[in-house]
């Protein structure tokens, strides 16, 4: 079986930025703290659509919903958020409100987010709005009302602490915490239980990860887990549902 994020790990040239962040192949961010890329090198925006949106049954599940709460482990560059916001603007029910709540240990600076997202003209408007609103002080919770229908919260700090303090009601989860082999904390039994406990009945998760211990932790938490074909030639990914 291939490593589910193996194509994130092939390195090339390096230009140091912050202690945790390097730039490779131009504007591709790479975490030296975790030894991994932030998104797949084929096309992170299309990967988001395949893994996180389709894996959670989105945008179809937005139909008929006036409020929808998405949780994400690992905000990173905000790529998943911007792509989700772009699709939400086009495909959600009239007047419906999206709350996207992400949990991030090392929030990036606005200029780093802007550089990473500059690769995709499709999300130019979302990138600009996000970086314009993004604060300089990155502690506690970043809370941004980006338009009349979209609110972003980024809870800064370890995900287990943030999720454990969060209120229930999540409809979908994007599990995006680097490769499980490099960052077991983001896939631990405790964290999977904490997010399961805060998921609404029929709520879902999706991830590019396919490691056996991740699947077992999600099943032990209570999710019904399904294997699907991964993005860009990856054999498998996982998605699942909290039984009603």
Ligand X SMILES: C[S@@+](CC[C@H](N)C(=O)[O-])C[C@H]1O[C@@H](n2cnc3c(N)ncnc32)[C@H](O)[C@@H]1O
Closest contact distance (angstroms) between CB of 34 and ligand X is 6
Site string (85-104) toward ligand X, x via CB under 6 A: ------------------xx
56 binds ligand X (CB under 6 A): no
Contact criterion met (CB below 8 Å) for 187 and 214:
yes
Closest contact distance (angstroms) between CB of 53 and ligand X is 12
183 binds ligand X (CB under 6 A): yes
Nearer to ligand X, 196 or 208 (CB): 208
106, containing H or E segment: none
Separation of alpha carbons 219 and 193, rounded Å: 10
Strand ranges inside the chain, DSSP E: 15-16, 21-24, 28-31, 36-37, 67-73, 97-104, 141-147, 150-156, 170-175, 199-207, 224-228, 237-241
105 binds ligand X (CB under 6 A): yes
Of the candidate residues 35, 59, 158, 169, the single one contacting ligand X (CB under 6 A): 158
Nearer to ligand X, 80 or 92 (CB): 80
106 binds ligand X (CB under 6 A): yes
> What distance lies between CA 78 and its chain's CA centroid?
8
Separation of alpha carbons 81 and 174, rounded Å: 10
203 binds ligand X (CB under 6 A): no
Closest contact distance (angstroms) between CB of 94 and ligand X is 27
Contact criterion met (CB below 8 Å) for 66 and 97:
yes
What is the contact surface with ligand X in residues (CB under 6 A)?
A: 38-39, 72, 74-80, 103-106, 158-159, 176-178, 183, 185-186
């Amino acid at each position: 079986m291939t490593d589910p994020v193996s194509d994130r790990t092939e390195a090339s040239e390096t230009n140091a930025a912050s202690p945790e962040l390097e730039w490779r192949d131009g504007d591709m961010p790479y975490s030296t703290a975790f030894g991994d890329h932030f998104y797949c090198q084929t096309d992170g925006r299309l990967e988001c659509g395949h893994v996180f949106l389709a894996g959670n049954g989105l945008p179809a599940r937005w139909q008929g919903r006036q409020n929808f709460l998405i949780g994400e482990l690992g905000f990173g560059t905000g790529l998943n958020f911007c792509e989700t916001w772009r699709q939400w603007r086009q495909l959600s029910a009239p007047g419906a409100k999206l709350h996207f709540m992400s949990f991030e240990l090392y929030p990036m600076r606005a200029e780093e987010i802007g550089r990473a997202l500059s690769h995709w003209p499709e999300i130019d408007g979302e990138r600009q709005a996000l970086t314009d609103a993004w604060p300089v002080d990155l502690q506690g919770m970043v809370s941004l009302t980006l338009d009349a229908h979209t609110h972003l919260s980024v809870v800064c700090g370890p995900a287990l602490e943030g999720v454990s303090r969060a209120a229930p009601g999540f409809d979908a989860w994007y599990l995006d915490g680097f490769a499980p082999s490099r960052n077991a904390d983001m896939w631990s039994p405790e964290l999977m239980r904490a997010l399961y406990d805060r998921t609404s009945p029929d709520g879902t998760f999706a991830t590019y990860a396919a490691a056996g211990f991740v699947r077992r932790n999600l099943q032990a938490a209570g999710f019904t887990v399904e294997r699907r074909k991964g993005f860009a030639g990856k054999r498998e990914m996982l998605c699942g549902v909290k039984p009603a």
